[in-house]
A and B are shown apart, each in its own frame.
Chain A
Amino acid sequence: MTDKPIVVIGGGPAGISAAQTACDLGAEVVLIEQRGFLGGTPIAENYASLTPHMRSAEEVVGAMVERLTASTSLEVLLDAEVTGLSGEAGAFALDVAAGGAVRTVDCASIVVASGFRHFDPGRETQMYGYYEYPDVIALQDLEAMLKAGDVRRPSNGETPKRLCFIQCVGSRDRHIGNEYCSKVCCGVASKEAIEVREAIPDCEVFIFYIDMRMYGYWESQIYWPAQERHHVQYVKGIVSEVLAKGDKLLVRGEDTTMGRPMETLMDMVVLSVGMEPSAGTRKLAGILGVEQNKYGFIQAANPPLDTVSTSKPGIFAAGAALGPADLEDCASSGAAAAARALSAARMVIGA
């Protein structure tokens, strides 16, 4: 067994999964998290429940954290930030700033699980008015409301009677530079739509979309129940602007099925924002010297069958640091990256 630990950077679902796997395989693990708590974006952004199983984010992620932190071979550094790297595979030295001091962590290999951030709707080129209209919110804003059990119009505190989601905000767009599909927003919007319908049965809920991308089981787990059991209305046609009209919002776009312009009033508009590399992912890529793709995500070096290697030997990536990913992807790639990190360390030691 290597005497040097494995470092996992990022304490979200992918990082937790990676750290857990490395611990389970008998490695010493140092988990570095820039926030003051573990759990990552689902906790930091107040997710109510997780797609598609709709279990409480706090419970699911909390259970992951609880199990991990019971490991005896784990050291967790919170409020900690990586500032430099030297050495090479098998003998890395990582500078970590924490608690006002910088310490060096020696390690055999590194898993980067620094995640994503929600696209900032202020950068959207369509006129959705996220920062103009209080009642235009984003997926994570609605998550927070759902978590609090209190979905109301921010403008006047009233319960919404008509609410719509606009898909592909910040995704699939050359203007913005995010030419990729963010993969999860169709499912997350549909999940939130179900939750709104359950919380406010007389609220009409619409989803305006270009394509519904409900891959795999999400189709029958989320999409079909939303439509068939919860009466969420899917309208094929994207909205290109949201305008104020009285105390309501006029959403305007094309109804592509009918081949006609559409405009209809809503009480609330939820922007289905996509995923972008987090600031941490961008910064770490530079510090660690791993290649990024044109969107800033860390580039998997040997696709398609090797999903977690980076351009730098001994450094692996997992979760949404690699690109848009759902929680199951994050858990899977976290475990894969940990196993690869450990086997790399052993190969170096053995060499």
Chain B
Amino acid sequence: MPVGGRKQPPVATELENATVTSSLSGREWELPGMWNRMFESRVLSGYTTSELARISSLPGGESIEWCYGCGKCVPVCPVDLVGEYGPRKLHRKAQTGVNLLGDADLWMCTTCGNCLRVCPKEVDMIQIMPAAREAAVTDGIMPPELQDVFEKTFRQSNCLGENPRRRHAWTKGAGVPVRILASDPRPVDVLFYVEDYWSYHPRGQQAAQAFARIADAVGVDWAILGAEEKTLGDSQRTAGEKGLFEALMEDVVATLGKYTFNRIVTPDPHGFNALRKVYPTYGHNFDVLHYTQLLAPLIDRAEWAGSVEAKVTFHDPCYLGRHNGEYDAPRRLLASIPGVELVEMSRCRENGYCCGGGGGGMWLDGFNSDRVTERLSERRVKEAAETGADILAVCCPYEVSRFEDAAKSTGNEHLKVLDIVELIDAAMFPR
């Protein structure tokens, strides 16, 4: 019993053409330029299991196909608020036949972990992204600026491509002696792993010098590796260069094996994450602290010669907070500084908004600039400014330069961006 009769065979193609014809001259243009829906087929048609199967077959990629589309990740994804990328969309794009390994979306995730925090199905971008990116990198697919960083890291063991022998150049301006293990290999309590930005970036060096003065003043027995230090490379790993990370780890473990120390302390939440979470999966176990965790219990010993009379807001680093659960140590330090009034941004602690630097984002601002309406750091700086704060305090070496740039570009030059150690330093040793 046919119902409704036989229908006409369909015409399925509904492609919109990316050629524009001038109504005056009749001349045709192939329109180049940015991705634009107008120039693509509106109709999605490539539904397939194969793209998801490819990602989910990678170790760590399994959960990509667990998404049931609830959308809880959308409002908490820092990138989704400023661009087209979103965790749920990534799953759906793959389902509609898009090759993720060749798609710009692959590089836009900062691995901030906020989607995983809210995901009822535990779709784990923190595992998926490094796995999928590794597959892309293996095929030679990656943004050129990321490739540049990988090459610098490979050659110089730091992401900035700086001279490895100048790792400890910053110590000269510290004003206190900084012990270097190569020349004084006696056992030490704290091995301070300076990492790249505090070693080389001018603003990072200032923070490192501040840390040296504070550590000295509160009686920490500490030393650094100096020229022997190589980056831990956690962001290179999350950006897809697992091989490079593993090679670095081999060298790092060998170097660490030469010395006797109780614990490693680092200012870099990414390096902290590598030592705390990733190294153990390779059988390398160290006691590791973020510098805020080292200083928080010792800060009562500080003698305050001055104060910081300011409203201060604090940005939680993703890899210290969400990834490793430390929200209180930085706040304890801030609360101890005379004069500081801490005001929280509405998105803080577990729900902290990402600065955009994680997962390789630190090195992809150019790549991302074509794909987002504003940088994550700009969005974050605006939030910080809205609190009425004078100072945006940070404790991740990526953030000072990111937020200082963003404060300028968003017209919030009045907002100073300072590492927590710089604030402590200013109150202990006023100039």
Residues of A whose CB lies within 8 Å of any CB of B are 122-123, 127, 129-132, 204-206, 212, 223-224, 227-228, 231, 233-236, 243-245, 250, 252, 255, 257-258, 260-264
Contacts and interface: CB of A to CB of B under 8 A. Distances in A.
Interface centre among B6, B43, B44 (most CB of A within 10 A): B44
A235 B222 CA distance: 56
Nearest to B2: A131
A74 B119 CA distance: 54
Contacts of A263: 12, 43-45
A170 to B, nearest CB: 13
Contact of A127 (B7, B44, B68): B7
B44 A255 contact: yes
A227 B68 contact: yes
A226 B5 CA distance: 36
Contacts of A250: 10, 12
Given A204-B48, A243-B9, A260-B43, A122 B96 contact: no
A88 B93 CA distance: 64
Interface string B1-16: 1111011011010100
B52 A260 contact: no
Contacts of B50: 204
B43 A132 contact: no
A122 B1 contact: yes
A186 to B, nearest CB: 12
B403 to A, nearest CB: 34
Contacts of A235: 47, 95
A204 B48 CA distance: 7
Nearest to B49: A204
B7 A262 contact: no
A252 B96 CA distance: 14
- Please provide the 9 A-B residue pairs with the shortest distance between their CB atoms, ordered closest to farther: A243-B10, A264-B47, A262-B44, A122-B3, A204-B49, A261-B43, A257-B92, A236-B69, A260-B44
A234 B68 contact: yes
Interface in B63-113: 65-66, 68-69, 88-89, 92-93, 95-96
Contacts of B430: none
A229 to B, nearest CB: 10
Given A245-B10, A250-B10, A258 B1 contact: no
B53 interface: yes
Contact of A231 (B10, B52, B68, B69): B52
Contacts of A206: 47
Interface of B: 1-4, 6-7, 9-10, 12, 14, 42-50, 52-53, 56, 65-66, 68-69, 88-89, 92-93, 95-96, 121
28 contacts: A122-B1, A122-B3, A129-B7, A131-B2, A131-B3, A204-B48, A204-B49, A224-B66, A228-B66, A231-B53, A233-B47, A234-B68, A236-B69, A243-B7, A243-B10, A245-B12, A250-B12, A252-B10, A255-B96, A257-B88, A257-B89, A258-B44, A261-B42, A261-B43, A262-B44, A262-B47, A263-B43, A264-B44
A132 B2 contact: yes
B66 A227 contact: yes
A236 B92 CA distance: 10
B92 A127 contact: no
Contacts of B9: 243-245
A228 B64 CA distance: 9
Contacts of B92: 255, 257-258
A244 B10 CA distance: 7
Contacts of A260: 42-44
Nearest to A205: B49
Nearest to A228: B66
Contacts of A228: 65-66
A212 B46 contact: no
A212 B68 CA distance: 9
A123 to B, nearest CB: 8
A322 to B, nearest CB: 29
A123 B3 CA distance: 8
Nearest to B91: A257
Interface centre among B3, B7, B89, B121 (most CB of A within 10 A): B3
Nearest to B93: A258
A271 to B, nearest CB: 13
Nearest to A164: B47
A153 B142 CA distance: 43
Contacts of B121: 224
A59 to B, nearest CB: 32
A255 B92 CA distance: 9
A264 B46 contact: yes
Given A224-B66, A235-B47, A250-B10, 15 more contacts: A122-B1, A131-B3, A204-B50, A224-B121, A231-B53, A233-B52, A236-B69, A244-B9, A245-B12, A255-B44, A257-B69, A257-B88, A258-B92, A260-B44, A262-B45
